[in-house]
Structure 1
């Protein structure tokens, strides 16, 4: 069993807070998601973002992935250098990471020591301007190719504002910049000292100035304030005429920037958006086309052509305020982020169509399920929505919103074309994934809340457990009729599952028992197992021979279903405990709240058990030996509760922990200060009361392919996959084994030797190159002589290339020859090789489907 799973993607959340930006080529959007950064590729092109040495697949359009690096807290602002090589992300406390964008590798850590509102690279990429409360600091950009001891070098600090600086905008030639502030002014600074120059002040607004922009020819400056006013500033007429009379060519505002800095600016025109009862929240300006894009607190955005202030377009795209807006370099696409709803939209304003429209779950993700082929993940959340995510692209495919309460469980039918969901609204629903509709709704005779769900292997019968009546209900999927009600538990039914092989149903309850029902026999035989604590979760091994049960005392207990006896027990309290919450009276080691597994899942080969719970850890155990193999920390985000082992004594005051003190009264907008929630509300509308979300895992599932697992966590849907991009395997290596020697062997037509050398070197790109360099007529010979050690690897590569590439007959020939040459050896290890065989079956079936359509 491989344990080298690494974080690969974050779905379920597309935007949380901070600013959205486009990459310099305009093909991708960068969005802050908690303390990580997600990249959404918007065009079908070979996108050379090399992430952990893995090029993104150029054959599939609209990819999204999340970088592996994490800031200490939620990201407040991000910026990318003009050449696209360097990305800087700054968290709420002002701690920054400088990242090599193409590699996803953190180059430097730096602390600005104050919260940062804006970061901007100069157009020539040499400097980074950063807001520092009411000051502005300009730093020299560190070299991403040279290792330096102190990479951040301060160029100058600029003062003059009397309140927090909100934005920075550079002039086109990087020689001066303009800032805007809450003190209702904007100021113009030069990068280097200029003799006799004093920073220009643009005053006259009646509210905080959100942004200030240069026009394309630098003759005008536009300032936008929160109350919806736009002022156009130009050189004062008397000064401009006197300069012309004196014949001074250096004084024209259209000349070089130092002269722009010397110009006496005056208000040329005043314009107003006239949007009643709304405020401007964000704006951006496209110099080349002169378009000003403004997002309002009512969810409306508008486009105005400057300097004529002609309204081009106004549209409502959200029910909540738009918190961030960006425009790509060509000026065609607009990106919007709405923080409260977690929405990310990309809009093409000329054709008036969406390029991208994504929204995560509004509240926590409660449950998840993998489709049988591992290509899709279904999630259910507290917002009552069921979403289907594509594991390859990271995008949401469809959202079902028929439930009226929190979704507690989702499950695919064995064929993968039907998705079932159970909810606290008292219904179980069946969704058709071909026509995307809710075609069945199952209810109980008397209203109950359903807490868990299971589908039998044939997909004909569905079972759901209730929290109120302690009963299990069985329905026929074909007719929708209630078949049976299983009574016997004396507490809420917490988990249930069908055996993958036999028609046996196992149910677990808070009454400290697990019951195994033979539901399809006439006798309705029941096998009860007594445990020491409340049952939280249970799962059958893929071969149906063993059952693992998680209980409230932190134990994992294993039962043999054939022998009806306990076979093993794992004490997991110390493995999962960790993380102290801000209001905990006891240390993390003594806290009982996180010391139990709320979700368990078997690996695809049935050798290990994956478990997670109300903790920041997910653990992997060897089921036979009962030993801990690996432990992952799902988040290092200090904005979440429970990620720190020890509380920071500097944040504890006489009034309690600073993080829990309600400071909403200091917000500048009335709607942010108002509190309309019920006292003590900690779930539901979390934004209305001071509340730190906890780092915890609600559901864990292993992919049927065995190459990935997913966790429904506080931050969204985390996907961890086997890192096979470049894993160094020193077995049987020699000094002579290099990429050059592999290719030289291939050129000498020693195909078997070259393939074995590539497998030993274990670098994905080299394996693919050698594999595709073997001629068609040599396939049979190479497949027959290949050592059995490399057979699973060869099958995996064959399936991947067949699914992706155009050489279909060639790929099928490889699979046929390998299976015919090593079929008996493969059959003896069918459980061990189940994930690889499933991949082969999927790729061959998809090819068969394509041929059938022809």
Structure 2
């Protein structure tokens, strides 16, 4: 049986359209609401009805929800009432709750079971004390049309609502006040609404045939709308692991979207540097002067932020075994960190007379290279924590990026003087003349895994490829519509990712030298790094997004690091989004 095949025959018993359904918290029971004015309870394992229909409503039953302890069911109806039912006895518990002026369209119960929220034709959202069976305060007003959907955040602090006015609104449950301005973007009635299980993402669906994702903290859209439905999308819900979103449309179809983005919140300012460690840790550096480490399997922060820099942190790199992290800042210093203890190793390294804008660590971990606002490149011994030799000079303006070749013999630099330079690491001297072609500031450079190709990006909106042996330009990749800030090769070297202020990530096929995929975000994108199964990008407004691409990227990491396939336990830890499968050939 396929993963999307129905489990047994349909559940039958209702005599008219089914408008809503909800599982009990333990998954053993299902309750359904129908136009036939009844509710029905079902045994999920046996796929059979439990007793007869629950009757009492005098209108269409529009919404239904289980309490968190599974003991109560709450239903809303076009008769303008809410009813509370004992799930075990299937009897009404107390009198109907009244107050809405017209039909009730949806109901939700708070995570702690203390409150019910309802939406209605009277353009309001109402909160109810479930134990006392009475309204809490005045109705929540602000929508200018019928309210169609309500959902509590997992911590119960926020309530989201949708409406015929095309907007989504967030409400502070404690104060019953709106949180910020309405979320706008849908072009028709908004209907379904759901929070992700971690509370960071909100999804809304609409009669415009789309589902939209929102960053709850910033109330900004995440990426482009999810499309694919041929009709209005009604109720929606996240999968337990947050990797997918399901919804039903008015054509009777069930749609499942595999989500491409996961938000890693925490930074409060631009994130221009991201990195993936061979030890399986993600690092992000921000203009908020902090560095954060994240678990790759769960996208959760590892301890508190790393603090110490006194200005924006714009550069970072992990050592070859992932135990060392190096960060560079506009405070002019370089800091070394132990990733296990998350503690700084010794005093900051000083020498640059301006901002540190780029950092790279040699493949053997013996050298650190830094790019400076002072137009110099400096080399450092990380073990001794001291400078190596004299600065590399030759660029005539600020140096913005630096990268070691895979064999550690060549260093590449990008600069505001519109050039790229290659350096012999052993002699600390330039290799030939500067590489010219960019028409403006060059922002970043990256070597392919085999060292044969160098990529550079810049303010001229281009990605350029260079043959490192002949030091000649071999391709100019166009498609970005604004400055391109960062670039990275995939682990297998077949693909290149570039990010820019045009709010996009472009993936380029190296062999055909053409764009294969373009992802769109809600903000300009800066730092970029390949991680198992996809990409990590930093945003100029502080967002960090993890993009799901395909399992081949994860395979490249697995095979490069281990030369063998993963066990089931290792797979679940490192590549949780896909089933285990042989990868190394």
Question: 1:386 Cα deviation (Å)?
Answer: 1.0
Q: Highest relative contact order (Cα 8 Å, sep 6+), 1 or 2?
A: 1
- The Cα shift of 1:341 comes to 12
1:749-760 to 2 correspondences below 5 Å: none
Structure 1 residues 496 and 84, CA gap change in structure 2 (3 angstroms): farther
Structure-2 separation of matches of 1:437 and 1:367: 19
User: Which residue is equivalent to 2:451?
Assistant: 544
Q: Given the superposition, is the C-alpha separation of residues 608 and 341 from structure 1 closer, same or farther in structure 2, using an over 3 Å criterion?
A: closer
Closer, same or farther: CA 225–383 of 1 in aligned 2, 3 Å: farther
| Larger proportion of strand | 2
2:326/2:334 contact within 8 Å kept = yes
Residues 178-201 of structure 1: CA distance to partner in whole angstroms, max 9, x if unpaired? 56xxxxxxx687869xxxxxxxxx
Alpha-carbon offset, residue 408 of structure 1 = 0.5
Deviations for 1:386-432, whole angstroms, at most 9, x for unmatched residues? Answer: 11112211211132122232221121100111111112122221111
Alpha-carbon contact 1:535-1:551 (below 8 Å) kept: yes
Q: Pick the aligned partner of 1:409 from 315, 330, 346.
A: 315
**Structure 2, gaps ≥5 residues long:** 6-18, 36-58, 65-75, 86-91, 106-123, 141-156, 161-172, 178-198, 202-214, 221-263, 553-558, 574-580
Match of 2:519 in 1: 633
Q: Map of 1:743-822 to 2, 5 A cutoff? A: 798-801=565-568, 803=570
Instruction: Tell me the equivalent position of 1:623.
Output: 510
Q: Which residue of 2 aligns with 1:506?
A: 412
Question: How far 1:490 moved relative to its partner?
Answer: 1.0
Provide the residue aligned with 2:361 in structure 1: 455
Matched, 1:708 2:475: no
8 Å contact from structure 1 (residues 386, 407) kept in 2: yes
1: CA distance between counterparts of 2:476 and 2:104?
64
1:172 and 2:87 matched: no
Structure 1 position 295, deviation (Å)? 7.1
Work out whether residues 466 and 475 of structure 2, in 8 Å CA contact, stay in contact via their aligned partners in 1: no
Over the aligned positions, Cα root-mean-square deviation in angstroms equals 4.6
Measure the CA separation in 1 of the matches of 2:465 and 2:414. 13
Paired residue for 1:560?
Answer: 467
Match of 1:363 in 2: 269
Aligned 1:379-398 pairs, distance under 5 A: 379-398=284-303
Aligned 8 A contact 1:176 1:188 in 2: no
**Change in 2 beyond 3 A, CA 1:157/1:554:** farther
Q: Which has the higher helix share?
A: 1
- Find the counterpart in structure 1 of residue 131 from structure 2: 216
Q: 2:472 & 2:79 partners in 1: Cα distance?
A: 69
Alignment counterpart, residue 375 of structure 2, candidates 460, 465, 470: 470
Aligned 8 A contact 1:513 1:528 in 2:
no
Residue 601 of structure 1 corresponds to which residue in structure 2? 488
Q: Residues of 2 paired with 1:338 and 1:401: CA distance?
A: 26
TM-score by length of 2: 0.55
Structure 2 distance, partners of 1:602, 1:340, is: 30
**How far is 1:368 from its partner?**
0.6
Q: Kindly indicate whether the alpha-carbon contact (under 8 Å) linking 2:404 and 2:410 is maintained by their aligned counterparts in 1.
A: yes
Q: Say which SS state the counterpart of residue 570 (structure 2) adopts.
A: helix
**Aligned partners of 1:141 and 1:85: how far apart in 2?**
18
1:620-658 deviations in whole A, cap 9, x for unaligned? 2232432x24122323xxxx4xxxxxxxxxxxxxxxxxx
2:396 is matched with 490
Q: Alpha-carbon deviations, 1:175-232, whole Å to 9, x = none?
A: 74456xxxxxxx687869xxxxxxxxxxxxxxxx9975335263x6554899xxxxxx
Q: How far apart, CA to CA, are the structure 2 residues paired with 1:796 and 1:462?
A: 28
Find the aligned partners of 1:370 and 1:551 in 2 and give their Cα distance.
23
- Residue in structure 2 matching 1:529, options 425, 434, 440: 434
* TM-score between both structures, scaled by the size of structure 1: 0.39
Query: Aligned residues, how many?
Result: 381
Q: Is the 8 A contact 1:428 1:441 kept in 2?
A: no
Aligned match for 1:718, one of 546, 568, 575: 546
What's the offset of the Cα at 1:700?
1.8
For the structure 1 residues 431 and 221, does the alpha-carbon distance in structure 2 shift closer, same or farther, using more than 3 Å as the test?
Answer: same
Counterpart for residue 422 of structure 2: 516
1:322-361 equivalence runs, <5 A: 339=217, 360-361=266-267
- Aligned in 2, Cα 1:718/1:215: closer, same or farther, shift over 3 Å? closer
3-state secondary structure, aligned to 2:408: coil
How far apart are the structure 2 equivalents of 1:221 and 1:491?
Answer: 66
Q: Distance in 1 between matches of 2:200 and 2:357?
A: 36
| SS of aligned partner of 1:803 | helix
Q: Is residue 349–residue 386 contact of structure 2 (8 Å, CA) maintained in 1?
A: no
CA 1:630/1:441 → structure 2, altered by over 3 Å: closer, same or farther? farther
Whether the aligned pair in 1 keeps the contact of 2:464 and 2:475 (CA below 8 Å) is yes
The 2-side partners of 1:556 and 1:215 are apart by 59
| Cα 1:85–1:567 shift into 2, 3 Å | farther
